[in-house]
Amino acid sequence: MRDFRDAKLMAKVLKQAFADRKTSLSHSQALEIVAAQFGYDQWNILSAKIEADDKAPPMRDGHVGIQPPIPIFRIFDVEKAMEFYCSFLGFTLDWEHRFGDNSPLYCQVSREGMILHLSEHAGDASPGARTFVRVTDAPALQAELAAKNYRYMKPGVQKAPWGLEVEVIDPFNNRITFCQQQGDGQDG
């Protein structure tokens, strides 16, 4: 899995993807786009973070550097998936990959610290998967989603013994439960 330390390689892939589509993109423009995808104002800031990470001491005492998991959701219609994840939920399409012109899509979408992979590939995941995501303000998320007036989903805030939940179901029956857990700024 690529992360910010792979930014130069990601920029190279992005530049090539634009070239394949007969669109010119300089290496420095690609670096700036990749930096923005990681939430940095400019490449120099991301570059400094990469350099600092390279100087970090190696993992020890049984630590192997495990990162948060990235759920893979099976999708069947790219247009519907982008409408749901990008337009409705507010995710950004970070990158996409196809093995050829008439091949299934595999892509990454993200919002704040949450990353999801969406795949049209049979066998990558089963439709109807579910993921649990902690949020700090479930009512604010629900209000944001309600304001979008998405015709296929009108999520509410549900009280559960462990906190407040906002659950959404994508067009392929995959579920995301956003949860503001007890004690995370809520009463009761």
72-181 is a CATH 3.90.1010.10 domain: no
Q: What is the pLDDT of residues 155-166, one digit of tens each?
A: 999 999 999 999
Distance (Å, whole) CA 101 – CA 57: 43
**Confidence class of residue 188 from pLDDT cuts 50, 70 and 90?**
very low
The tokens describing 123, both together, are 């066998």
Q: How far is CA 182 from CA 27, 66, 164, in A?
A: 47, 26, 8
pLDDT at 5: 65
Distance (Å, whole) CA 177 – CA 157: 11
pLDDT at 162: 94
Domain extent listing, the chain: 4-54, 72-181
* % of residues, the chain, pLDDT over 70: 91
Q: What is the pLDDT of residues 141-160, one digit of tens each?
A: 999 999 999 999 999 999 99
Average pLDDT value for the chain: 87
